[in-house]
Chain A
Amino acid sequence: MEHAHENAGHHTHGHIAPLSMYYAVFGALMVGTAITVAVAYVDLGFVNTAVALGIAVTKATLVILYFMHVRWASRLTWVVIVGSLFWLILMFVIAMTDYLSRGWMGVPGR
């Protein structure tokens, strides 16, 4: 059983991060939330959208990398995440291309 412990310790233990890291990430998430809310009260035109989405992406990335330990995860995990996000964007881009290019031909319904 002692052996078992050691061996398992090598392979199975994810990275044990210090508490300070969790607090730092948490702080960043809170600051991000505060900024998005604050920015929403100022009219910056399309910048509003860019800031809101930029911060959301940053927050999500922080959660994925640190809370979900992906920073220390295998390459395969990265592939799964990046791959599925890529697929999602592919769906958005292709479907929206249809809507954006409607009417280019000048024939209703084409």
Chain B
Amino acid sequence: MPDANQAAVHGGAHVDIHNPNLQHHFNDMAQQQEASTLGMWVFLATEIMFFGGMFLCYILYRYWYHDGFVAGSHHLDLFWGALNTVILIVSSLTMAFAVRSAQLGNRRGLMVNLILTMGLGAAFLGIKAIEYSAKFRDKVIPGRHFEWHEVDPIGAQAFFSIYFAMTGMHALHMVVGLGIMSVILFMSWRGRFNETYYTPVEISGLYWHFVDIVWIFLFPLLYLLGRH
């Protein structure tokens, strides 16, 4: 290959070679930013498949145990579920604002919005905890002590197994999200971001929105279908 024709650093790139945020193995900020966002999207693709495995379980058992699933979803608290949906959507909005503030180099806006986002995320988890404890009280925890006096106990148990697996995984992602947000908040407090460099904010935002999207599906699938 190009034994003979190795050339100097490729043209046009050295302009921002001095940007302190440029890692040495990238040619320029554009390349670095594109790589990071692509990386995040590829990671989200893996997340889609990760949750996808549980959605497949959901589809199959809903098809098998229609009545048990309907009965199970009647047992969930629609009020809390809907409230959590609203909370997450608002948090997505504040997250989007956080990214926008970062794009504009508005550090205060960035931090305020991050804090709002985190607060909403924590509220979501708090409500989830309330819901979970109600389930414990009603003894609809799958396993040996599962109690069910309505139709199709086996199907209902399958429903609650899926319910806990899916919402549990989702909640775990929220917890991770809160961790990431704390780091971003810390970094922005330290003034690490400006309008030329805010990629971490942007890709953390992508993650947060993804977790929101998962809930956008979980809410109707678990709480709503077959209700009435």
Residues in A lying within 8 Å of B, measured CB to CB: 1, 3-5, 7-14, 16-17, 19, 22, 26, 29-30, 33, 36-37, 40-43, 48-49, 52-53, 55-56, 59-60, 63-64, 66-68, 73-74, 76-77, 80-81, 83-85, 87-88, 91-92, 95-96, 99
The docked-state distance in angstroms from the alpha carbon of A49 to that of B70 is 12
Q: List 26 A-B contacts (CB under 8 A).
A: A5-B195, A8-B29, A8-B197, A12-B196, A22-B100, A26-B93, A30-B89, A33-B89, A40-B78, A40-B227, A40-B228, A48-B225, A48-B226, A48-B227, A49-B226, A53-B220, A56-B216, A60-B213, A63-B92, A68-B206, A80-B38, A81-B41, A88-B52, A92-B59, A95-B60, A96-B59
In contact, B38 and A3 (Cβ under 8 angstroms): no
In contact, B28 and A7 (Cβ under 8 angstroms): yes
> Contacts A16-B103, A83-B45, A88-B48 given: A4-B18 contact, CB under 8 Å?
yes
Which residue of A26, A56, A63, A92 is within 8 Å of B209 (Cβ)? A63
In contact, B217 and A8 (Cβ under 8 angstroms): no
Residues in B lying within 8 Å of A, measured CB to CB: 15-16, 18-19, 28-30, 33-34, 37-38, 41-42, 44-45, 48-49, 52, 55-56, 59-60, 63, 78, 82, 85-86, 89-90, 92-93, 95-97, 100, 103-104, 195-197, 199, 202, 205-206, 209-210, 212-213, 216-217, 219-221, 223-228
